[in-house]
Structure 1
Amino acid sequence: MSGNGNEHRKFLKSRTYKLFKEGDYLSDELIINRKQDVLDLSMYKQKVDNGTVIFVMTTHCSACNFDSMTDYMNKYNKFNYLLLIETDHKFISELVSRVSNDKLSVIGAEIDIICKQLKFDVVPWVFALNKKGQFVAGREFNSIKEAEFITKPLLRVYYNEIWRNEINAK
């Protein structure tokens, strides 16, 4: 492999499906593993006040920066969060203890199973959904700044004061 730092992006290189489109709606169910276990996603389309941010990560990926993700969650606590992660249960417990957000759900998932359903092709990945469960953004990330840039459509709506102050400071 070349030393350009993008080796993680080759993870799901043989895509045979189209990537998600902004404006598409989150499905009601997601098969999360080869055993065909189903995750009910309908709650992210109803009774959501401020939108949802979905992170997809694995501990087998050197580019998956869990500190950036937890910093983002702690900074922007108005959102509902779903972390789909391929790892062991011990790591999940450690990770949950680092996040001071009671709107976080952490689900163990097999990345290659969920990528086709959510229509993404690399990890780490972040999706932003409006309060109706509609995708407004999504892309790979590995820093809090990148996550903020990708989720800007949600941040502008629900953290308008932060964005106004940032613009005035320039």
Structure 2
Amino acid sequence: MVSSLAAQAATLVEEAPQNGIPTAAMQQVAEVLTQVAQHLDHLQYTTLRYPDGGWLTVRVVESSAGADSPPEPEPPGHLWIPAFGHLEDAQATLAELRQQAPDLEATSFGVLELLFLALGLSRAEGIVFYDQAGDRRQGKAVACRPLAEQVSQALRRGLPPIA
């Protein structure tokens, strides 16, 4: 059974001391992550990973919103981690990549844990969440830098004043 956002947040806070993170700080982090997760459609997502823990990354090309202008692809080098709200979509992608990447494995995460892991990503811009079954082309992107900045702001607001 997939845990609610509140239960996922409670787990992050509960496990924080084991990871060297103060409970109060993780409570603030969990609040930010919960706000972001509320804009996504699923409580759990499946990603594709290598046995060494590395993430499958994909190059995402966005087209401009204006119908009159030609699509403008993102500059090269913008790699994102795909996260699938439907296991079948992750399995279909895994099957398509089996020849090129036979070691890839499907791994499921609660949405808050996945967002928390995004804070530590260095080789990817962020995560693209594919919420609609069968649609592996249009997703909701959560970029790492803005997410980390939101968390930093929340932590700064929560600090006690220096005496």
TM-score (norm 2): 0.30
TM-score (norm 1): 0.29
Higher helix share: 2
